[in-house]
Amino acid sequence: YQNSIDYASDNWTRYSTFRSYCSAPHPTLPDTVVSIERQGPFQSHGNLDWSRVETYDDVASLKEQISKRTVYVVGRLFAVVDANGDIIRYPPLHVHHAHVHPYPTSEMKKKITLDNDFVHHHVLIQAHGDAECTNADGGTDCLLHQLPDGQGYRIVKSSGFNANYEINDVRYGVELKPLEYYIDIAVMWTYRKRVATTFLQMGNPALGR
């Protein structure tokens, strides 16, 4: 099903576009569901034209399925794609940042200000301009993060996830054609107990590692 979301572009002019959702059993992982949200279409016009989606709730329409439950996220993806679902690499579209948090917006300030400790500011999914690997090490395959068998990010009684992101069209030129794109966010999750792993992430996939 669909609803809408607002975004800012073209020097922060505001527009609206669609949010669409689907969920299905994972084809190979037992008791695991893949929930996907697609947003779009967006249009950008080059020359550092930004599209900004401010913090919004209920990513992938998971609220009803995870509320009052303990779930384990075993894989996740944030990607810029075309209408066919093919990933659009950087360049031309640079993901300045994309963050998905395992709690709703109403809990953000509590998490960030708790003991003034940003370790409590969990990021479940994140992507940035250097998130792709080199071609030799997988390219856009690195945008899909899947934990080893038996591990999971433990989410306890969450009332939905929130997200925010900014996309930058780095094409330069005169009379550039508008570039249409979409955002795909995928969450692989299960009720089956896993070994809980940390939300902290280190590394630089741009170096292929």
pLDDT at 122: 78
Q: What is the pTM of this model?
A: 0.90
pLDDT at 208: 43
Query: Taking the chain (209 residues) in consecutive chunks of 10 residues, what is each chunk's mean pLDDT?
Result: 71 82 96 97 92 93 94 97 96 95 83 55 85 88 94 94 95 94 98 91 51
Distance CA 167, CA 43 (A): 11
pLDDT at 185: 98
pLDDT at 141: 92
Instruction: Name residues whose C-beta falls within 8 Å of residue 139's C-beta, 6 or more positions apart in sequence.
Output: 89, 132, 133
Report the 3 state secondary structure along the chain. Answer: CEEEEEEEECCCEEEEEEEEEEEEECCCCCCEEEEEEEEEEEEECCCCEEEEEEEEECHHHCHHHHCCCEEEEEEEEEEEECCCCCECCCCCEEEEEEEEECCCHHHHHHHHHHHHCHHHCCCCEEECCCCCCCHHHCHHHHHEEECCCCEEEEEECCCCCEEEEEEEECCCCCCCCCEEEEEEEEEEEECCCCEECCCCCCCCHHHCC
Distance CA 57, CA 20 (A): 14
pLDDT at 209: 45
Which two structure tokens, joined as six digits, stand for 207?
Answer: 């170096």
Query: Scanning the structure block, which residue is given the tokens 């902290």?
Result: 200
pLDDT at 203: 54
- Residue (of 44, 51, 43, 47) closest to 171 by Cα position: 47
How far is CA 117 from its chain centroid? 24
pLDDT at 202: 60
